[in-house]
Structure 1
Amino acid sequence: MRLIYFIALCLFSFQLSAQDTGSIIGKLTDKEMNDDPLPFANVVIKGTTTGTTSDFDGLYEIAGVEPGTYVVSYSYLGYETVDIPDVIVEAGKVTTINVPMSAGGGFELSEVVVTTVSRKDSEMALLLDQKKAITLETSIGAQELARKGVSDAATAVTKVTGISKEEGSGNVYVRGLGDRFNITTLNGLPLPSNNTSKKNIDLGVFTSSIIESIGIDKTYNAANYGDFGGANVNIVSRNYNGDGFFDVSASVGGNTEALGVDQFYLNDGPDFSGFYNSDIPNNPFSDTFDTSWNREAVGTPVNSSFSLKGGDSYTIGDESRLSIFGVASFSNKHSYNEGINNGQPNVGNGLPNSAFDFTTFDYSTATTLMGNVGYRINNANNIKYNLLVLNNSSQKQQEFFGILDREDDAPEGGGFIQRATFERTTLYVHQLLGEHNLSENIDVNWGGAYNYVKNLVPDRRQNTVLPVRNNNPDGPKSFALVSAASENHRFFQELDEQEIAANLSATYKFKENEDEGFDGKLTVGYNGRFKSVDFDATQFNYRFLRPNDQPEVDIRQIDQYFDQNPLSAGLYQIGTFRGGASIPGSLNPQTFGGEQQINAAFVTLEYKFNPKLTLFAGLRGEQITQEIDWNTTFGEDSSKLDTFEFLPSLALKYELNEKQNLRFATSKTYTLPQFKERAPFLFQEDITQDSYGNPDLQNSTNYNFDLRWELFPTSSEILSFGVFAKYIENPINTFLVVSAANDLSYANTGDSATAFGVELEARVNLFENEIEIADDFLEERLSLGGNISYLNTNQKLQSEKVANETSLAAAFTNTEAPLQGASDIIVNGDISFYKELKNNKDLNATIAANYFSERLYALGSTGRGHLMDKGFVTLDFISSMQLNEHFKIGISAKNLLNPLIERVTENAEGELDTVNPAVPGFLEDGPVTDLSYKRGSDLSLTLTFSF
């Protein structure tokens, strides 16, 4: 009704005034974006309040203008203001002015109006890109990140339909598909992982200060790498095209759980900065380590951050421009968890084999340095260099009290484990990118990257202390009854990964249309990705001897035991898995590593059959080689995966009208096993669960289908509904190996898996007003956004397949299961209020909520039900106020509801599909809690000063 009323009013007004007044119309184009239409630019008759903004197609109209001669001013945030003088308006006539706009060149610098906001930051501009795109890509820009108080890329992507985040990490699930199914790129070039356990880099390391936009493409096209099943997440780093600016920002805050403890504890060695490292000492078998076993009290756990951000651009000659942008930031965060952490339950009685009350003190840091330089010539050649350096660290003091093993260590309780872990990851990214318009018909794009990752775990320390007598769990403690040498250890790990990546493509445009564009685009290209991985780890185990002579131990004074009982006392020995000091080569680390090479060629065709129907089709061929060798406790060997993948893709877009689109997409892709998943190395990253790789692991093949309808009521609103389906051959899963240790490993656990889902998204303005003041309009807006997805997944589980294709044994409780990480329901919602109080003063407030239903963490095995993460709701409040042109203040309160985070083993259902007939019965005394805790609410206050 609002739209009909507006149209009727415009027509009525036009009929009354058309004969006595004139109009100014035209089209605005964006020279920065190959003369694409420029929407949402301001058009004003200077000296008046009469004006308008351009629409999605860059078109504008100022109607009802009194006859006369005027100066018309065109402006856009971050672009040069263009003033057109001597515009004559005549009664009953239309004056047409078509204006190209850019960030510089072609106009006097004195006429340039400068801001720090770029076109691609804008929510409306990104919504326009989504409307124009042929594939199903959703983008989130810096403007929306700021409005929703999003601090990193991991949180950003969870605002997109069908995406949820893994608790305690920056890894995401897209339509129920986890880490191994997704791919992460920076400016279109691939990024390495910062974690041996993951394929993708932790998105949480990318702070919002370095992000211009994040594109999430849930459908595959042949121009992208084919190792894709869920989404391609592309982070676009910030660029700058305006005049010089410099911002300083600082924040302070805290986590309610961390601030609520009487004393916060960490461990010896690491410092405030997060740049700590420690090497193995020269004579480790003589116990020459210089760090303490004991925990250390620290000050008040206050969170803080500080950042510097600036940019400038310079016009060189008549048609060239140099742009510079840089960010430097540091932040730290304290967190505290306490709760329950249990091992897998026994089938017979439902009791967990290990049962702990635990506490975790965590101090993390994030240091970011990003800079880029761009040089543009004649609007036809653009070259950019990007540098990104990230240093992230996590320091944890973990303490576990209870039963270590119901049949062995501390069977009645009273056991104590403490683990002190510092992990540091440093990432260096160098990128050189080029865009060239060689002629009206030919474009060439290229890019190259060198990436380097170093992951360190220096001197992880673990102590295990048991009651002197099992029947007296509250009595004195000692090392006497500790059964495994590895329960007390010092561990050193280093991962080095280097990667070179290259993109090259050429586009030929043909069949010119009436709008001076082209209906056809043919692109051919090449992608290369060459990675080397080098991992080594050494663990020094403390084996305790002469149990009858072992003294009592104060769990808070572990150092005291070693001070009073030196190595020469003969109460303990130090050795690696290769042996002690007397064994040659005992200091040789466990290692795995290798190389991965991907060479790909592709061709894509974009063709507009008519104004409504557009096709985007592609073919891609990838040659993949992955070689890995290892020397670990599992032995010394090597393995090679060598395969060629042929990957077609097809997308169709049908414009029902100027506001509605209908889209269809289908493709074939694959899922490649990662080095860790194929490396036989025992990872002991969790107190209650170990894992190792499977060298027999093979690719999965994915078939993807999407259908979506979209409605764009206005330039800032969207309503969409979509359905999708996936069929996966040879799916990869994490599963519980049938063995005495019950470790986790990876396998192609069945022949097929399916996923079907529906997605609904809406973004509407509940109301928006413009209040006229002396020389401007003040905007007021209340907007509502939300999305919901429903997902149904199923996979066939075959224990026999695992046994036949690998050296491992599986005993799946059921023959079917949902996909790992898949929630049936995911809901995101936010409501935002924006009000301009006066020039350079405004208020922005947002309430954002997220919910995901329970999801599979690990497959049910050996008579147990599935291990499930329970769903929960998060609620955030974010507000900021621009006080004047220099000062901005912001407050945020995140995770206000502070829900219980819980993981449970469910009762078993269905049949036991196992090749192991000795597995007894089913778990019936459940569900059994495996993990539960609260992570607290995060509160912060931020002040920004702009020069």
Structure 2
Amino acid sequence: MKKILLIALLSICQLAFSQDRGTVTGIVTDKEMSGESLPFANIFIKGTSIGGTTDMDGKYTISVPAGKHTLVFSFIGYQTIEKPINVVAGQTLTINQEIGASQGVALDEVEVKATVSKEKESALLLEQKKAVSIKTNIGAQELTRKGVSDVATAVTKTTGISKQEGTGSVFVRGLGDRYNVTTLNGLPLPSNDPSKKNIDLGIFSTDIVEFIGIDKTFDVENYGDFSGANIDISSKNYRGKGFVEVGLGFGGNTEAISVDNFYLNDGPNTSGFYNINPPAFPLNNYNFSTSWDREKSNPPFNNSISIKGGKSFNIGENTKLNVFAVGSFDNFYKYKEGISRGSVNVSGVARRNYTFNNYAYGTNTTGMGNLSLKHKQHTFKYNGLFINTSSQKQDEYNGIVDIFDYAPNGGAVVQRATFDRTQLFVHQLLGEHKIGEQFDINWGGSYNFVDNRTPNRRQSIVTPDDWDEPNGPKSFRETINDSDNHRFYQKLEEEEIAANFLTTFKFNSNEKEEYLSKIKLGYSGRFKSVDFQATQFNFRINNSPSDPAQPFIDDVYNLDSYFNQENFNAGLFSIRTFRGGLGTPGVNVLFPQTYGGKQNINAGYISFEHRFSPKFVAIVGVRGEKITQTLNFNTSLSNGNSDLDEFEILPMLTMKYELNEEQNLKFAASKTYTLPQYKEKAQFQFEEITQAYIGNPALYLSTDYNFDLKWDYFPSRSEIISLGAFGKYIQNPINDVTINSATNDVSWVNSGEKATAYGAELEIRKNIFEDSESENSSSLNAGLNVSYMYSNQDLDKDKVTAETTAAGFPISVDFTETESGISGASDLLLNADISYMKEFDNERNIQATLALNYFSDRIFALGTEGKGNIVDLGVSTLDFIFKTQLNKNLGLGLSAKNLLNPTIERKQEKQNVLVYSYKNGMEFKLSLSYNF
């Protein structure tokens, strides 16, 4: 009886209490993001503990005692808003509020354990949920958690993307470099490599990144030279009271550390800023100042140092200035040893057959600064970026140069010393203007300059004096080609101006004053010039009846004993370019091999978005692009020109249906194109140790049709389950193939009528447990994304012969098969990670992540003349990352990458011959950061 009375009493008290309370609800929006909803903002009743945070849609609801109160809205880095309210018992009061950073910053009202929202995983998931287009974002918070240090590795953590081994090039749904577009803050970036369309994503440190947007479906705002993905790097834009952080790192690679001695080239320094020009009179005398011989290097330990900082300034009541800057230097040492075979014939015999040792040292120096000035509804931004990267390699090959006629029994020693440096300068000016409730203007302009140089590459080939005795004395007696021993100088300069302009008009409002329709009208332009020059000085070994004997090479690592002024005077060798030597009549023998030209793209576009119902919205748009590309070349193979002039109409359709508040269904379809690159068209011969590449001026663009269907489910603000299907249809695809030639050179051709690719993608992010109630909060999170794809293309040798012959540049190929998968496409891609986070208080925490990446076999080059495709075998990598914040200022980190250290292998399928094999080694790094 007592229990019944107690329950009744409590019920009466609860009823009475609830009748003295009302409900306050509403939506908080972000003034800095043009009125987008703001998740994780704080709402509370001043002077009480009553309050909460907004959800992923910016919504909040709190129960408040009846009476007059002050409602407080706050968010880190934003102005705190106080609003008087009068709550009536039993009634609901709706208060919507927009907050921003333009009026000042107050950070003391509520302590928020979060980073700036655009870096946070949950905020980017919200953006993905709200977007009509099919896109993926990866932010600074996730990059830090997974221990990612560069953008190339960052994008491989998302669904359907893998990285080409040893490069910063990525494959998106099996489509490689030529199918992707790279932008910085929505403006295009130039390439730093003559063989690539896109800049090496590995040169971008994640220190400069707020988030990376990956659009796998075409939007008319993006350039149409696209079928894989538009990868947009959004640079950091700091908002807050100010900070300065210094970071240090130390580590090493197990393969590099394990060698007894580490060797590099003579000449380049360790800073990465080395450059050298050819001597003034390179053919008259031996005037080269650098040695042919390798030099013992410093102990191969990796180091890094960085400093970054930012601060916000209030300028009057309505103006705010945000400043952010970062500077960093990283270096790394790597060592590989293995086998390298080239030109494997139908019988499985490799014409070139080597074991190799590769010593490598690289640097990355990055400086970035940005300014953001916001005055009321107008924002102006400037981004300046400078990157200097260098790669120094000492490659040493031992074995058979050519099994049919050049050291056929082995014993040859090939050395190549290469230093490559790239400097990238980027200047961007952007503006955002909100004019009233309905009209927005966004614009941007950029100037980019790339300077890529390979100064003084040195190659030498020493063979047994008697080829029948591979272990006998070495000499230059049997040198066949002048180019076997050379010094090579290359320069690529690429200059580009780009501009974007977009107007957005919202109209057709409903009774809730929500605009149901939106129209966008815009222009994009990019104007690029390319200038490539290369000079190779070949060291001709002079064998003659009057001088039949060449001196023996006592030490293959002391070639300065042969290539010197004394032996030059004695006539043992002479120096020539491909145009000739001293005394060649009527020719400037020092005039370099060149190619270059201009590429201009002018585009206009329009799109219309309409919300047909609260659940269904669609976007339809069309983009028109005028593309002109001029190419002139004067090389050792030929001289001539190849121009391209096209106008492309590119339609797109995107639809989104909201199944409920947590689930979306999206569909996208578009037409795009793929443009051939300058290296692929210029008839210049790029020489590698076991392979040569020659351009095809007859190349023309491919046409691409893209389809996507995707279902997203968001169980909570930090969780997602996503399942998608996609398809690609490519007309006249471009492939690199081995052409019919004595040396099995590789070129690029429109290899058939069509190629198709289709597949499915699955992504899951799940909170296994989350304890946020206790004083020491903890969480365990896991992620998985899987992509499966099937690809096929037809191969037509007659089509290739007919088209190249008609264009005046005949190329003959003999495909082994009449159809094949797409080069670079893996059937299966998988990323998985699990992360544990423990917070001891507001200033101390630990975080640990284990991340796995896998890609299955993929075609490296198509098979010809009865030979099988050359295939890169599948690889798994496993990384462990540990970080701890020891106090407010001091942080420590430990990373151990590539723990499985698999053997990287490349095989020729039909003949089952291993053509390339090595190990990358495990990477360990200890890092320290101090925040002032």
Same fold (TM over 0.5): yes
Tell me which residue corresponds to 1:792: 790
1:18, CA displacement in angstroms? 3.1
State the one-letter code of the partner of 2:249.
S
Query: Which of 388, 393, 396 is the aligned partner of 1:391?
Result: 388
Tell me which residue corresponds to 1:530: 527
Q: 1:394 to 1:115 in 2, by over 3 A?
A: farther
1:581, CA displacement in angstroms? 1.9
Tell me which residue corresponds to 1:342: 341
Query: Which of 930, 934, 938 is the aligned partner of 2:923?
Result: 938
Q: Distance in 1 between matches of 2:648 and 2:86?
A: 63
Q: How does 1:400-479 map to 2 (within 5 A)?
A: 400-479=397-476
1:474, CA displacement in angstroms? 1.2
Residues 1:41 and 2:41 are matched in the alignment: yes
Q: Is the 8 A contact 2:464 2:475 kept in 1?
A: yes
Q: Distance in 1 between matches of 2:407 and 2:513?
A: 79
Q: 1:344 to 1:130 in 2, by over 3 A?
A: same
State the one-letter code of the partner of 1:211.
V
Tell me which residue corresponds to 1:665: 668
Tell me which residue corresponds to 2:480: 483
1:673, CA displacement in angstroms? 0.4
Gaps of 5+ in 1: 1-10, 908-925
Deviations 1:337-379 (A, max 9, x none): 000111122223x12111111011000000001011111111x
State the one-letter code of the partner of 2:620.
A
Q: Distance in 2 between matches of 1:831 and 1:734?
A: 39
Q: Is the 8 A contact 1:344 1:352 kept in 2?
A: yes
State the one-letter code of the partner of 1:613.
F
Q: Is the 8 A contact 1:176 1:821 kept in 2?
A: yes
1:318, CA displacement in angstroms? 1.2
What SS class does the counterpart of residue 771 from structure 1 fall into? coil
Q: 1:625 to 1:392 in 2, by over 3 A?
A: same
Tell me which residue corresponds to 1:352: 350
Query: Which of 604, 619, 644 is the aligned partner of 1:601?
Result: 604
Q: Is the 8 A contact 2:104 2:314 kept in 1?
A: no
Q: Is the 8 A contact 2:102 2:374 kept in 1?
A: no
Q: Distance in 2 between matches of 1:61 and 1:451?
A: 49
1:517, CA displacement in angstroms? 3.3
Q: Distance in 1 between matches of 2:743 and 2:48?
A: 79
Q: How does 1:166-205 map to 2 (within 5 A)?
A: 166-205=164-203
Tell me which residue corresponds to 2:552: 552
Higher deviation after alignment, 778-787 or 795-804: 778-787
Q: Distance in 2 between matches of 1:575 and 1:351?
A: 34
1:763, CA displacement in angstroms? 0.6
1:21, CA displacement in angstroms? 4.2
Residues 1:815 and 2:800 are matched in the alignment: no
Q: Distance in 1 between matches of 2:702 and 2:12?
A: 62
1:132, CA displacement in angstroms? 0.7
State the one-letter code of the partner of 2:336.
N
Query: Which of 869, 874, 882 is the aligned partner of 2:877?
Result: 874
Q: Distance in 2 between matches of 1:845 and 1:81?
A: 34
What SS class does the counterpart of residue 353 from structure 1 fall into? strand
Tell me which residue corresponds to 1:55: 55
Tell me which residue corresponds to 2:658: 655
Q: Is the 8 A contact 2:78 2:106 kept in 1?
A: no
Q: How does 1:50-89 map to 2 (within 5 A)?
A: 50-63=50-63, 65=64, 72-84=71-83
1:71, CA displacement in angstroms? 5.3
1:46, CA displacement in angstroms? 5.3
Tell me which residue corresponds to 1:768: 770
Residues 1:217 and 2:220 are matched in the alignment: no
State the one-letter code of the partner of 1:58.
G
Tell me which residue corresponds to 1:7: none
State the one-letter code of the partner of 1:303.
N
Q: Is the 8 A contact 1:868 1:904 kept in 2?
A: yes
Query: Which of 743, 746, 752 is the aligned partner of 1:750?
Result: 752
Q: Distance in 2 between matches of 1:184 and 1:691?
A: 25
Deviations 1:651-672 (A, max 9, x none): 0000011111011100000000
Q: Distance in 1 between matches of 2:438 and 2:23?
A: 35
Q: 1:742 to 1:113 in 2, by over 3 A?
A: same
Q: Distance in 1 between matches of 2:336 and 2:13?
A: 65
Deviations 1:150-185 (A, max 9, x none): 101100100111100000000000001000000001
Residues 1:927 and 2:912 are matched in the alignment: yes
Q: 1:551 to 1:642 in 2, by over 3 A?
A: same
Tell me which residue corresponds to 1:311: 310
Q: Is the 8 A contact 2:76 2:107 kept in 1?
A: no
What SS class does the counterpart of residue 838 from structure 1 fall into? coil
Q: Distance in 2 between matches of 1:178 and 1:18?
A: 62
Q: Is the 8 A contact 1:79 1:114 kept in 2?
A: no
Q: Distance in 2 between matches of 1:327 and 1:354?
A: 47
Residues 1:592 and 2:595 are matched in the alignment: yes
State the one-letter code of the partner of 1:449.
S
Query: Which of 699, 716, 719 is the aligned partner of 1:717?
Result: 719
1:79, CA displacement in angstroms? 2.4
1:100, CA displacement in angstroms? 2.0
Q: Is the 8 A contact 1:673 1:699 kept in 2?
A: yes
1:863, CA displacement in angstroms? 0.8
Tell me which residue corresponds to 2:5: none
Q: Distance in 1 between matches of 2:194 and 2:795?
A: 27
Tell me which residue corresponds to 1:643: 646
1:48, CA displacement in angstroms? 5.5
Tell me which residue corresponds to 1:495: 492
Q: 1:109 to 1:851 in 2, by over 3 A?
A: closer
Deviations 1:492-512 (A, max 9, x none): 000011001011111111012
What SS class does the counterpart of residue 802 from structure 1 fall into? helix
Tell me which residue corresponds to 1:726: 728
Q: Distance in 1 between matches of 2:466 and 2:98?
A: 84
Q: Distance in 1 between matches of 2:75 and 2:266?
A: 54
Q: 1:190 to 1:112 in 2, by over 3 A?
A: farther
Q: 1:543 to 1:292 in 2, by over 3 A?
A: same
1:72, CA displacement in angstroms? 4.7
Q: Distance in 2 between matches of 1:153 and 1:819?
A: 25
Tell me which residue corresponds to 2:28: 28
State the one-letter code of the partner of 2:290.
T
Q: How does 1:11-160 map to 2 (within 5 A)?
A: 18-19=18-19, 21-45=21-45, 50-63=50-63, 65=64, 72-84=71-83, 91-105=89-103, 117-160=115-158
State the one-letter code of the partner of 2:853.
N
Q: Distance in 1 between matches of 2:45 and 2:383?
A: 40
Q: Distance in 2 between matches of 1:12 and 1:538?
A: 94
1:319, CA displacement in angstroms? 0.8
What SS class does the counterpart of residue 631 from structure 2 fall into? strand
Q: 1:617 to 1:440 in 2, by over 3 A?
A: same
Q: 1:39 to 1:115 in 2, by over 3 A?
A: closer
1:314, CA displacement in angstroms? 1.0
1:107, CA displacement in angstroms? 6.9
State the one-letter code of the partner of 1:265.
Y
What SS class does the counterpart of residue 677 from structure 1 fall into? helix
Deviations 1:543-590 (A, max 9, x none): 111273211111011111224852111111110000012224000000
* Alignment size in residue pairs: 910
1:109, CA displacement in angstroms? 8.4
State the one-letter code of the partner of 2:923.
D
1:12, CA displacement in angstroms? 15
Q: Is the 8 A contact 2:77 2:106 kept in 1?
A: no
What SS class does the counterpart of residue 52 from structure 2 fall into? strand
Q: 1:28 to 1:634 in 2, by over 3 A?
A: same
Residues 1:543 and 2:528 are matched in the alignment: no
Q: Distance in 1 between matches of 2:17 and 2:708?
A: 49
TM-score where L is the length of structure 1: 0.94
1:384, CA displacement in angstroms? 0.5
Query: Which of 886, 889, 893 is the aligned partner of 1:890?
Result: 893
Residues 1:568 and 2:565 are matched in the alignment: no
Q: Distance in 2 between matches of 1:633 and 1:184?
A: 33
What SS class does the counterpart of residue 499 from structure 1 fall into? strand
